[in-house]
Amino acid sequence: MSTERPNSAVASGQPLTSASEQSTREFARRLRVHVLRMTHRARASHVGTCLSIADVLAVLYGAVARVDPTNPDWHGRDRVIMSKGHGAAALYAALVVRGFFPEEWLDRYCQDGALPGHVTHRGVPGVDASTGSLGHGLSLGCGMALAAQSERLDRRTFVILSDGELDEGSIWEALMFAAHHRLGRLFAVIDYNKIQSFGRVEEVLALEPLAAKLRAFGWNVVEVDGHDHAALSRALTQLPQAAPTVLIAHTVKGKGVSFMEDRLEWHYRSPSDEQLAAGLLELGAVV
Amino acid sequence: MRTAFIESLCEAAAGDPNIWLLTGDLGYSVLEVFSQRFPDRYVNVGVAEQNMMGVAAGLAMSGKTVVAYSIVNFVTLRCLEQIRCDICYHGASVKIVGVGGGYAYGALGHTHHGIEDLSVLGSMPGVDVVAPADPIETRLAVQTLLQRKGPAYLRLGKAGEPKVHQNSPAFGVGSIVPVREGRDVLFITTGGLLEEALRASQQLVAAGLDPAVWSNPWLRPFDVARVTAAAKDFAVIVTAEEGVITGGLGARVAQIISGMEGSRARHIGVGVPPEVGPSALSQKAARARFGLDANALAAQALAAMKRS
């Protein structure tokens, strides 16, 4: 395990300037283009969930998280756990845009022996934890944050959750644990796109009043527009507090591709040739 | 066994600052010696075993060696997917310790019968699975597992089991521990049934036979070589486990024997059927009911020898 300091490529961890916001917006645009191409090529599902979290990942990997693509196992790096592991395409794309591995790897998404449809760390630089079954990532993050706290390291742990994932009881076990142990450098981000696997969140299993529940569990709660880069950056770079922080990121499933936005079906469908072309056009990519 | 466990854990932790202990709110009058001595490396996570396993994996992925402790079913079945995905898939050095293996808490009812753990954990990828026979094997198992990287499951009984071994035996990773030499019938046990098999062997000696008794603490890695050799050397092999017969010691031995060619031992696999059983069932009564006590083991071995 490397303990070297990061090189200059490490993100600053500071709030966004207008120039850097421009760059995270470009990061998110490229990420979305990758996601469309990957899910189209692989005929894979979960494109909607990848698009809804694209801006969070762009801000995290483009500006906030102290990680080093040239030294992915650096002990002092911030940890990022994609607990909603079905957003794998978005995470892999973010790691490519950040420079962890070559873009060509994305061409073989979901192919035999290549990047799988849920997040794996095995053979993939920059992935801190494998996920795919919901309700696991926050506990992993608690363990990592507890280890950092015990070593008095200033590294942060970011855990990205889906809204449907909050149905899992293990999440609430972990929420209690993090608050009890005052894991102030632990950040959870809830991708609150209001649609879960088989219906609207409020119809399947109501989460509201979500912010009040999370506050009652002892967390510092920040509600943000999950597509507003400046707001995301401000919330994710706030000084550590005694309590862990959760961002309720209000998002739109399928964000960025008009005909996919807020539609349950894009949890499952993969874009056809025509839909890919239309989506890439909206994203300003060369078809 | 619990005392031997915590003593050897404390000894190891004194020499290795990376060893942590987590508990799911159990271990009264057992774990205090650790928590008082190493308070910064002890966490009672509460009655939340799924979270405990995730936290354990997260700590281990940050360089710690983590012992996660609770009653057998709570620390295995309740959080099985966390074990599979968070611990095994990451190769995390989490040593899961279950107390109350088999019917150690039999009188407490169905929820506390720890009988599927060895079978189920033995199906998880890359886990050491160890069920020591007595406090001496427990101590050796703790020392060995803490020195090995990766996941492990250690099944313990409760407190107060007698020492079966007279001295500290050779305890290689994945090795059977021969306890009594013999020629015609071989008992292989896992966990605390060793003492029953030893008493059964005395009955067989009285009946004019020359039985051997082996303790098999390691369900994984498994001592394939020694069992293969035994299947050629003995007329009858009796396996005994205080757990379901689907997927444990007997199933493993049967798999090995069935793959062999030529003359080989007859195998009697004694264990618990995977069915709903009686609720309150003391360990003594359970062993008698499922043919696992000394009398029943001796009788089954004798019958098999007569048929072979």
Tell me how far apart the alpha carbons of residues A142 and A158 are, in angstroms, rounded to a whole number: 10
Structure tokens at B134: 């007595």
Tell me how far apart the alpha carbons of residues B154 and B169 are, in angstroms, rounded to a whole number: 18
Chain A closest-CA separation from residue B33 CA (Å): 20
Tell me how far apart the alpha carbons of residues A60 and A236 are, in angstroms, rounded to a whole number: 8
Average pLDDT across chain A, whole number? 94
Contact between B72 and B108 under an 8 Å Cβ cutoff? The reply is no
Structure tokens at B228: 């293969």
Identify the band that residue A246 occupies on the pLDDT scale cut at 50, 70 and 90. very high
Tell me how far apart the alpha carbons of residues B62 and A9 are, in angstroms, rounded to a whole number: 23
Note the pLDDT of residue A101: 98
- Asked if the structure places residue A13 within a domain, the reply is no
User: Residues A12-26: pLDDT tens digits?
Assistant: 456 688 888 899 999
- Chain B contact probe: residue of A120, A136, A175 with most B CBs at under 10 A: A136
Complex-level ipTM: 0.97
Structure tokens at B54: 């995730």
Note the pLDDT of residue A19: 83
Chain B closest-CA separation from residue A177 CA (Å): 7
Write the CB contacts of B90 (distance below 8 Å, at least 6 apart in sequence): A121, A129, A130, B57, B60, B61
Average pLDDT over residues A201-209: 98
- Asked if the structure places residue A6 within a domain, the reply is no
Contact between A226 and A253 under an 8 Å Cβ cutoff? The reply is no
How many Cα atoms are found within 13 Å in the side-chain-facing hemisphere of B202?
8
- Asked if the structure places residue A72 within a domain, the reply is yes
- Asked if the structure places residue A8 within a domain, the reply is no
The answer to whether the CB atoms of A142 and B64 lie below 8 A apart is no
Note the pLDDT of residue A10: 42
User: Residues A114-171: pLDDT tens digits?
Assistant: 999 999 999 999 999 999 999 999 999 999 999 999 999 999 999 999 999 999 999 9
Note the pLDDT of residue A1: 39
- Tell me which residue in B46, B59, B63 faces A1 most closely, judged by beta carbons: B63
Structure tokens at B292: 């696992």
Tell me how far apart the alpha carbons of residues A195 and A266 are, in angstroms, rounded to a whole number: 10
* Res. A3: pLDDT tops 50: no
The residue range of the domain holding A44 is: 18-282
The answer to whether the CB atoms of B50 and A139 lie below 8 A apart is yes
- Asked if the structure places residue A223 within a domain, the reply is yes
- Asked if the structure places residue A3 within a domain, the reply is no
Positions of chain B with pLDDT lower than 70, given as ranges: none
Write the CB contacts of B229 (distance below 8 Å, at least 6 apart in sequence): none
The angle at the Cα of A62, spanning A181 to A153, to the nearest 5 degrees, equals 30
Tell me how far apart the alpha carbons of residues B154 and B171 are, in angstroms, rounded to a whole number: 15
Per the structure, the count of domains in chain A is 1
Note the pLDDT of residue A20: 86
- Supply the DSSP symbol for A152: T
User: The domain that contains A30 carries what CATH number?
Assistant: 3.40.50.970
Structure tokens at A132: 């795919």
Write the CB contacts of B190 (distance below 8 Å, at least 6 apart in sequence): B118, B131, B133, B215, B216, B217, B219, B240, B241, B243, B248, B249
Contact between B68 and B97 under an 8 Å Cβ cutoff? The reply is yes
Nearest CA in chain B to A122: B90
The answer to whether the CB atoms of A139 and B53 lie below 8 A apart is yes
Taking the Cβ of residue B21 and every Cβ of chain A, the question of whether any pair is shorter than 8 Å is answered with no
- Asked if the structure places residue A11 within a domain, the reply is no
Chain B closest-CA separation from residue A280 CA (Å): 35
Note the pLDDT of residue A14: 65
Which chain A residues touch B54 with a CB distance below 8 Å? 136-140, 142-143, 170, 174
> How do A195-196 and A199-200 pair as beta strands?
antiparallel
Structure tokens at A37: 């191409």
The answer to whether the CB atoms of B59 and A146 lie below 8 A apart is yes
Note the pLDDT of residue A21: 85
List the domains of chain B with CATH numbers: 2-155 (3.40.50.970), 177-307 (3.40.50.920)
The answer to whether the CB atoms of B45 and A143 lie below 8 A apart is no
* Res. A5: pLDDT tops 60: no
Closest CA to B2 of B128, B103, B104: B104
- Asked if the structure places residue A1 within a domain, the reply is no
